[in-house]
Chain A
Amino acid sequence: EVQLVESGGGLVQPGGSLRLSCTASEFTFSSYWMSWVRQAPGKGLEWVANIKQDGSEKYYVDSMKGRFTVSRDNAKNSLYLQMNSLRAEDTAVYYCARGDSSAWDGTYDIWGQGTMVTVSS
């Protein structure tokens, strides 16, 4: 079954760091753009970042530029999100999602189950 599984969420203090992982299975991970999307409790979806198939292009929402870094390891079928200088407003469920297999990232047809990040003292 085509699947994405996130891990690495948890409770972290304000100002702290956390690294999320997303492991893909049953599809050619290296052929797809990948993205992170988050959802604060009771709120809507917020796109965070994406990364091209070979990691050569990365894009971020303005509010997270400089604090969050997206990366991937195609040999391990894994996507990562390094989050630094975390704030209370970063508290959310973080989803990884599969994008397009072309040169331009498109829509997200496969999603993980999400991992919860709570930023609190």
Chain B
Amino acid sequence: DIQMTQSPSTLSASVGDRVTISCRASQSISWWLAWYQQKPGKAPKLLIYKASTLESGVPSRFSGSGSGTEFTLTISGLQPDDFATYYCQQYNSYSRTFGQGTKVEIK
């Protein structure tokens, strides 16, 4: 199975900050990467697919980049509603895998 490794595991930030989360795949997955946001007690929400395509309705302060094995989720101007856990997910192989998650906390 393809392993997905996110960093950092936890990130402390303030409202208005620019935040970057990294996701690394154990082998090339081309652009087949998605990002999800999850809040406590809720189902995940799709933010970005195909590494950099914003899902409909997702604010433009979210952006994704990368290809191959290295990917990044950036939040430009963190808002109170953005404090949550973020997961990357590869869908290049038959067996999908998620990263372990990055919790964005209030500083």
Task: Judge if A27 is at the interface, Cβ distance under 8 Å.
Answer: no
Chain B 30-52, CB-CB to A under 8 Å as 1, else 0, gives: 00001010100001111001000
Contact at A44–B95, with CB atoms within 8 Å?
Answer: no
**Complex Cα spacing A95 to B22, Å:** 25
Which residues of A18-39 have CB atoms within 8 Å of chain B's CB atoms?
35, 37
A-B contact count (CB 8 A): 55
Cβ of B91 and Cβ of A107 under 8 Å apart?
Answer: yes
> Does B98 reach chain A (CB closer than 8 Å)?
yes
CA of A105 to CA of B94, assembled, Å = 8
Is A107 a contact partner of B43 (Cβ separation < 8 A)? Answer: no
For A100, give the chain B residue with the smallest CB separation. B91
B43→A112 contact, CB < 8 A: yes
Interface residues of A in 66-121 (CB under 8 A from B): 95, 105-109, 111-114
When distances are taken between beta carbons in the complex, the residues of chain A under 8 Å from B91 are 105-107
Given A62-B95, A107-B34, check contact A45 B46 (CB 8 Å): no
Q: Does B14 contact A (CB under 8 A)?
A: no
B7 CB, min distance to chain A CBs, angstroms: 14
Interface residue tally for chain B (C-beta within 8 Å): 22
Cβ of A11 < 8 Å from any Cβ of B?
Answer: no
User: Which residues of B sit under 8 angstroms from A50, Cβ to Cβ?
Assistant: 96
Cross-chain contact A106 with B98 (CB below 8 angstroms): no
Shortest CB-to-CB span from A32 to chain B, Å, is 14
Q: How far is the CA of A112 from the CA of B57 in the complex (A)?
A: 19
Produce 1/0 per residue, B77-107, CB < 8 A to A. Answer: 0000000010101010011111111000000
Asked if B55 and A45 sit within 8 Å, CB to CB, the answer is: no
Complex: chain A residue closest to B38, CB-CB: A45
Q: How far is the CA of A69 from the CA of B98 in the complex (A)?
A: 21
Q: Chain B's nearest CB lies how many Å from the CB of A107?
A: 4
**A44 contacts B89, CB within 8 Å?**
no
Give 8 closest A-B pairs by Cβ, nearest first. A111-B43, A107-B34, A47-B96, A44-B101, A107-B49, A45-B98, A59-B94, A44-B100
